Amino acid sequence: MFNDMHKSAGVAYPQGFTAAGVRAGIKKSGNLDVAVIYTEKTAAVAGVFTQNQVAAAPVRVSKIVADTGTAHAIVANAGCANACTGEQGLRDAEKMADIAAKELGCRQDDVIVASTGVIGVALPMDKMEAGIKSAVKELSREGSVNAGNAIITTDTYSKACATEVEIGGKEVRFGAIAKGSGMIMPNMATMLCFITTDADIERKLLQEALSEITEVTFNMLTVDGDTSTNDMVIVLANGAAENPKITSKNADYEKFYATLKEMCTELAKRIAADGEGASKFLTINVHGAETFADAKKIGMAIANSLLVKTAFFGEDPNWGRVICAVGYSGVRISPEKTIIKYGGIPVYAHSVGVKFDENEIKKVMTAHDITIDIELGLGDFDATVWTCDTSFQYVKINADYTT
């Protein structure tokens, strides 16, 4: 479903979308740092935004745009978060939208703006203006790779994918670019993710689908437990596929929903796997909780335990740290009923460790992808949380990341 061709097509895979990424000199590295995504045909827009009270200026501006229900463009930069920048920051975020709107020939409130990078530094607006102008000139159906690279920070690669589904006899396409890496924790504070689709769907349903799906995809991943000030998931749906407009929760909606969910799941997993300094991708399945919230809370307690994450970095099957995290998660559990498995192999059951084959466990622990199952035996609710290990590299990246 998510092959390489699709990946490079990205956000420009759906009909009617173009994209570009350029070097504006905002990143110290000189890498691509300004992205524009555009649809001439008006798109329904849905968004989910950080819950951090110290929301950055672009978040505050884009919420207003999302509330209008429609948009034509997304303009985003990396290298500077435009967060904690006060009134000047708000004016700069509005100016980003204004510059793009003028170049594209749309209204300022048709432009979603996003920034990521260092907090507390003002955007260099001269560079930004030149960057946006040059990005708009470069907009093309081949521009998604550059756009994707322009929004990454400490990510080791751009997360991108694309796919299609048949709805009402029409091919409906989806594309996405996303960035993650550090300051990654649920409640949509997590990253930037821009999704395009040529589906024709009512705005209210689009927002409902995105909000629901975010809860079980992006909000189930954590890298370091930190909730950033900047991040957002945006979907633009421009209707260019000419499917019968989705206006109720019918079979077409179900198909749309399933495809969007599959895409968000894939991106969430990739963001976790590419967490700062990650050498392991960890999938934590919590089974048999009394509620989904309980299952998630336990999964997150494990996923955010530094002791668990450093043990996986060390390839050490130290399940004591996992049951310890389960025990302090805040969810009432029964140690006697609890079972923990690493790669399907029981390591703890009913209050005590289980003898396991050292070689079998070694195979599990030395692999890149590791699954941890926690069976609580208390109820019918499950949750899956994705994370990565914590390595020397994480500390290095974050001790050196410049202010």
Binding interface with its own copies (CB under 8 A): 51-55, 81, 83-86, 88-89, 118-121, 182-183, 185, 187, 189, 224-229, 304-307, 310-311, 313-314, 316-321, 323-328, 332-333, 335, 348, 350-353, 390-392, 394-396, 398-403
- 3-class state of residue 289 by DSSP: strand
Tell how far CA 235 is from the center of its chain: 12
CB nearer to its own copies: pick between 147 and 365: 365
Nearer to its own copies, 228 or 243 (CB): 228
- Residue closer to its own copies by CB (options 77, 228) is 228
User: In whole angstroms, how far apart are CA 249 and each of 70, 186, 253, 323, 396?
Assistant: 21, 27, 5, 41, 48
Does residue 190 have an active-site annotation?
A: yes
Nearer to its own copies, 52 or 283 (CB): 52
Phi, psi values for residue 329, rounded to 5° = -65, -20
CA–CA distance, 205 with 83 (Å, rounded to integer) = 31
Which of 2, 355, 382, 391 is closest to 164 using CA atoms?
2
CA dihedral (252, 268, 211, 101) positive or negative: negative
- Asked if 308 contacts 325 with a C-beta cutoff of 8 angstroms, the reply is yes
The one-letter code for the residue type at 302 is: I
- List the one residue out of 159, 288, 265 whose CA is nearest residue 216: 265
Name the residue nearer to its own copies (CB basis): 5 or 399: 399
CB of 295 to its own copies, least distance (A): 16
Q: Which is the catalytic residue, given 116, 190, 197, 229?
A: 190
Contacts of residue 82, Cβ cutoff 8 Å, sequence gap at least 6:
56, 57, 58, 89, 92, 93, 115, 122, 123, 230
Least Å from the CB of residue 268 to its own copies = 19
To its own copies, the closest distance from the beta carbon of 111 in angstroms equals 24
The values of phi and psi at residue 317, to 5°, are -75, 55
Cβ count near 28 (within 10 Å): 11
Nearest distance from C-beta of residue 90 to its own copies, angstroms: 10
Give the shortest CB-362-to-its own copies separation in angstroms: 12
CB-wise, 79 or 175, nearer to its own copies? Answer: 79
Q: Least Å distance between CB 152 and its own copies?
A: 18
Q: Shortest Cβ distance from residue 337 to its own copies (Å)?
A: 12
Residue from 295, 287, 296 nearest 186 by CA: 296
Which two structure tokens, joined as six digits, stand for 71? Answer: 């948009």
CB 70 within 8 A of CB 239: no
Structure-block tokens of residue 187: 């409640």
Residues 41, 53: contact at Cβ < 8 Å?
no
Angle between helices 86-104 and 125-138 (to 10 degrees): 30
Residue 105 is encoded by which pair of tokens? 């020939």
Q: What 8-state DSSP symbol labels residue 158?
A: -
Q: In the complex with its own copies, which residue's Cβ is closer, 239 or 288?
A: 288
Q: Which of the residues are catalytic?
A: 190
